[in-house]
Chain A
């Protein structure tokens, strides 16, 4: 809302300088967004919060100033002379939609001389509406009074109203309307129109019509001052994409006593500046939505909420200056009826805020004794920090991607659920990179982070030729039938490394949380993963992740030039077994003994099974088993056989192992592997 310094001076003395005034206004709730000097005037731009529609006119801002500086507020009085003609004798208003338009008033002025506005009027309007083009004196005056009082008004060319009446009604389906800007609109039911007996002349509270507007030929005018349903105005303005200063004001509750005042004030200015004769009386249909309330303020509540003592004797003064009518007052309570322009004041806490903001929030100290409180770092946070430090140490950059994705990404990889994704009724706009712009509406709550990371990888390839290695920790959204969706936290990463390097990282993540973690890896059927270079990660028989090289199918789907791998892990699985306070175990001072084995085994034997047998058979002195390599020698071993070379380390906690000790353990390993896996030593 832009106000003019000179204009304000009509209602309140401005004895301060500009900078001081805007500082005071900012500190009492009208945030100063900037000022522009125009000649001897300042156009002052103030941010008006949605609870303060009273400050969408100069009166309201002047009232704030008068309260802050404890000076007089001079609202012009209006006295109107009228002719013998009564408006009600020749004209009718039918209000058919009181849910959309609460109240509709009309006054009639005959014999107006429509022409250019006086210079001072245009100057003021140009100060508050940058770029304002003067229309004619009547239209300018309706705008002027709106900016003065905050009540929007509309003037109709009375001669163009057909059938001697106005019907305020809901539009019929697809009803056509030609607006004042000469755009044609097709209206929907539920839009409030101001019609005559034949056609809509205005979209109520939003915009006037082209064929009933006041022009140089106009002789008689009808002045509308109304109160519309804020919700209906809001949806209409939005539907038609027609936002006007009027709709902006009608989207908030207006001052009911201001409606008639504005109508009178407008008539008075027209009579003064454009001549004519006012018909007697007013047509006033419907009722304002306003109900006066009594509100009681207990003085002790001021201290309880604001934290400072405010002298009881200043409180009534502040509230009275703001327009509250004081009903009852004693040393502990004050009962008031807030003014009609302050519908936001309906509860005690509202009055506390008013007293506080006028008295000054700057008087509240910032050195209170806030008691100490202990906080505990949550395990979730500790684990997240560990994950992040491991991933960055491994060379991955942390990324963040949007939670909604386009359909192709959503469809391509959803390893955690078969349920259809949740869909937003609004898409995210402007979040896709140019090359992906046409891929679809970004409206699917993602079920995996992997597609988003592949897209980030693609962007990096595309823009900088970088082979980005990225990770992200974020939620995925899995629908539930009878409760809120599940939002498990996932860790995903994408990199240039091969399957085993990625698997190594998966192992490291789990071991970092819990050194005893035993993961299992099963074949993975996901299409975007290479079947021979990818796996499902399992912990205690439960799937906790996926890791693998991206298949050529996946690479093509995500338009990736270079090979890459992905992994996605369930963070709760990492969290669940996490040992955040590791316990000491005595380190053996004895030397280890290492023995190598070269087993011939079936091709189908998995390392996990072999190594498990080795570790179990080795007995108490077993320390570790290390995979060395795999050979194939079909000539000697026959088909479907492979040789696995492994190295086992033995160590005793108490004695130095002898060769016999180690030999004994080795025999046990060989026997067990032969029995369980038909493994034989290479001779």
Chain B
């Protein structure tokens, strides 16, 4: 084959390839073009390459050079077309496309508002250095009353005001009841741990009130306890204040005023100032020396404070819930609001 012929063959191949690549409007068309011209087995460039063998021996260097040049050109045209297509908008606009139709729904469950409140309380108290402790919900008289300085004749022990179980603890003969307060945990912790103590206990407690808008025979309490040498009411007030600031915000004011609980002396009620009035948020006080003694602590050496909050009350106020029973009916329409 004459050199001239070979060169013109290559050039027309190059023109054809250029045209095919530049006309390609989709990846598929471009791929067809690539197979046609650059295909490794039967591509037209490959075929042209085979013609090199029939070129006069003296012309071979020039022919080879030309082949390389054309090969590069076709390759470049392909790459250019490829990048053109990648950068172009893939498809024409589909007129039926409605971007506002609903997405495939993802149904996320929600945490119960009481859990959300409890988690928040745990977080805050954790930051203030209080560790979480738990205890049994079914308790004996000693932990629920006796050790907490609530003697047998105290009205709080009236069988009608408690969920006593029909069976006593068969071992000790002590009556058992669903605990009426989480202070039971404080006793268990102090019985098993020497001071210092800095804990909160959280959980379900039970009192036989008939369920109505503001009462439920089961609810949650958080109780805090701090025992050490030289723990005073100033520490109590400081912790309550830090708690309120954490929970409600920077500018909240608190106050404590005298109250009465058998297991603390002095006993106080803590209020915070909210929307122009004082709102009760829990009971507190210095742990009664009788309580310290009942767990084997020496009230002359250590002192401490305790406080307790009703979780439902905090939760309901936080989320503007007006009927406590809604918390335990578990309608998803209710639960899904939180």
Chain A contact residues, CB within 8 Å of chain B: 26-29, 31, 49-52, 230-231, 234-235, 238, 251, 303-308, 347, 349-350, 352-353, 356-357, 361-362, 364-368, 370-378, 380-381, 385, 388, 391-404, 422-431, 433, 445, 456, 459-460, 463-464, 466, 468-471, 474-475, 477, 479, 481-485, 487
Contact stretch, chosen from B39-47, B66-74, B209-217: B209-217
24 contacts between A and B (CB under 8 A): A26-B257, A29-B259, A234-B155, A353-B267, A357-B266, A361-B258, A368-B235, A393-B109, A397-B332, A398-B111, A403-B204, A404-B178, A422-B176, A428-B208, A430-B211, A430-B325, A431-B211, A459-B331, A466-B332, A468-B331, A470-B330, A475-B137, A482-B171, A487-B136
Q: Say whether A392 contacts B232, CB under 8 Å.
A: no
Q: Say whether B234 contacts A400, CB under 8 Å.
A: no
Smallest CB separation, A404 vs chain B (Å): 7
A385 CB contacts on chain B under 8 angstroms:
119
A28 CB contacts on chain B under 8 angstroms:
257-258
Quick check: is B289 within 8 A (CB to CB) of the other chain?
A: yes
Closest A residue to B129 using CB positions: A373
Apart from A27-B257, A366-B241, A484-B138, what are 18 other A-B pairs with CB-CB below 8 Å? Answer: A306-B234, A306-B266, A365-B238, A370-B239, A395-B107, A397-B336, A404-B178, A423-B165, A429-B217, A430-B217, A430-B325, A445-B138, A469-B332, A470-B330, A470-B335, A479-B167, A484-B140, A487-B138
Bound-state CA distance A485–B208 (Å) is: 21
Closest A residue to B106 using CB positions: A395
Q: List 6 A-B pairs, minimum CB-CB distance, nearest first.
A: A307-B232, A307-B234, A373-B129, A430-B211, A29-B258, A49-B260
B112 CB contacts on chain A under 8 angstroms:
397-400
Closest B residue to A48 using CB positions: B260
Q: Say whether A349 contacts B138, CB under 8 Å.
A: no
Q: Say whether A238 contacts B178, CB under 8 Å.
A: no
A425 CB contacts on chain B under 8 angstroms:
159, 163-166
Out of B176, B328, B332, which one reaches A464, CB within 8 Å? B332
Bound-state CA distance A362–B212 (Å) is: 36
Bound-state CA distance A179–B121 (Å) is: 52
Q: Contacts A238-B160, A392-B110, A430-B211 given: A484-B136 contact, CB under 8 Å?
A: yes
B139 CB contacts on chain A under 8 angstroms:
484
Q: Say whether B257 contacts A31, CB under 8 Å.
A: yes
B170 CB contacts on chain A under 8 angstroms:
481-482
Interface size for chain B: under 10, 10 to 19, 20 to 34, or 35 or more residues? 35 or more
Bound-state CA distance A367–B169 (Å) is: 46
Smallest CB separation, B315 vs chain A (Å): 11
Bound-state CA distance A380–B131 (Å) is: 13
Smallest CB separation, B247 vs chain A (Å): 15
- Residue pairs across A and B with CB atoms within 8 Å: the count is 263
Bound-state CA distance A352–B266 (Å) is: 7
Which residues of B (133-152) have their CB < 8 Å from a CB of A?
A: 134, 136-140
Bound-state CA distance A397–B178 (Å) is: 27
Closest B residue to A49 using CB positions: B260
Q: Contacts A304-B303, A305-B232, A424-B163 given: A402-B328 contact, CB under 8 Å?
A: yes
Bound-state CA distance A356–B238 (Å) is: 17
Q: Say whether B233 contacts A464, CB under 8 Å.
A: no
A238 CB contacts on chain B under 8 angstroms:
158, 160
Q: Say whether A365 contacts B234, CB under 8 Å.
A: yes
Bound-state CA distance A50–B262 (Å) is: 10
Contact with A along B243-269 (1 / 0, CB 8 A): 000000000001111111000011111
Q: Contacts A52-B260, A377-B126, A484-B136 given: A401-B166 contact, CB under 8 Å?
A: no
Quick check: is B223 within 8 A (CB to CB) of the other chain?
A: no
Smallest CB separation, B125 vs chain A (Å): 8
Bound-state CA distance A101–B3 (Å) is: 137
Q: Say whether B266 contacts A400, CB under 8 Å.
A: no
Quick check: is B130 within 8 A (CB to CB) of the other chain?
A: yes
Smallest CB separation, B284 vs chain A (Å): 11
Q: Say whether A428 contacts B217, CB under 8 Å.
A: yes
Quick check: is B240 within 8 A (CB to CB) of the other chain?
A: yes
Q: Contacts A50-B260, A234-B155, A424-B164 given: A308-B333 contact, CB under 8 Å?
A: no
Q: Say whether B111 contacts A392, CB under 8 Å.
A: yes
Bound-state CA distance A396–B330 (Å) is: 12
Q: Say whether A368 contacts B232, CB under 8 Å.
A: yes
Out of A361, A378, A468, which one reaches B256, CB within 8 Å? A361
Bound-state CA distance A457–B198 (Å) is: 41
Contact with A along B157-194 (1 / 0, CB 8 A): 01110111111011100001010000000000000000
A428 CB contacts on chain B under 8 angstroms:
163, 208, 211, 217-218
Quick check: is B206 within 8 A (CB to CB) of the other chain?
A: yes
B240 CB contacts on chain A under 8 angstroms:
366
Quick check: is B230 within 8 A (CB to CB) of the other chain?
A: yes
B289 CB contacts on chain A under 8 angstroms:
347, 349
Out of B140, B167, B198, which one reaches A373, CB within 8 Å? B198
Closest B residue to A350 using CB positions: B265
Q: Say whether B109 contacts A366, CB under 8 Å.
A: no
Contact with A along B14-43 (1 / 0, CB 8 A): 000000000000000000000000000000
Smallest CB separation, B173 vs chain A (Å): 12
Q: Say whether B109 contacts A394, CB under 8 Å.
A: yes
Quick check: is B306 within 8 A (CB to CB) of the other chain?
A: no
Q: Say whether B268 contacts A361, CB under 8 Å.
A: yes
Q: Say whether A308 contacts B234, CB under 8 Å.
A: yes
A31 CB contacts on chain B under 8 angstroms:
257, 259, 269
Closest A residue to B164 using CB positions: A425
Q: Say whether A464 contacts B333, CB under 8 Å.
A: yes
Out of A352, A376, A403, which one reaches B178, CB within 8 Å? A403
A396 CB contacts on chain B under 8 angstroms:
109
Bound-state CA distance A460–B332 (Å) is: 7
Which of A27, A366, A374, A469: most chain B CB closer than 10 A?
A366
Q: Say whether B269 contacts A305, CB under 8 Å.
A: no
Which of A27, A31, A370, A380: most chain B CB closer than 10 A?
A370
Which of B122, B138, B239, B286: most chain A CB closer than 10 A?
B138
Bound-state CA distance A463–B333 (Å) is: 10
Quick check: is B100 within 8 A (CB to CB) of the other chain?
A: no
Quick check: is B321 within 8 A (CB to CB) of the other chain?
A: no
Bound-state CA distance A352–B264 (Å) is: 12
Bound-state CA distance A428–B217 (Å) is: 6
Closest A residue to B130 using CB positions: A375
Quick check: is B91 within 8 A (CB to CB) of the other chain?
A: no
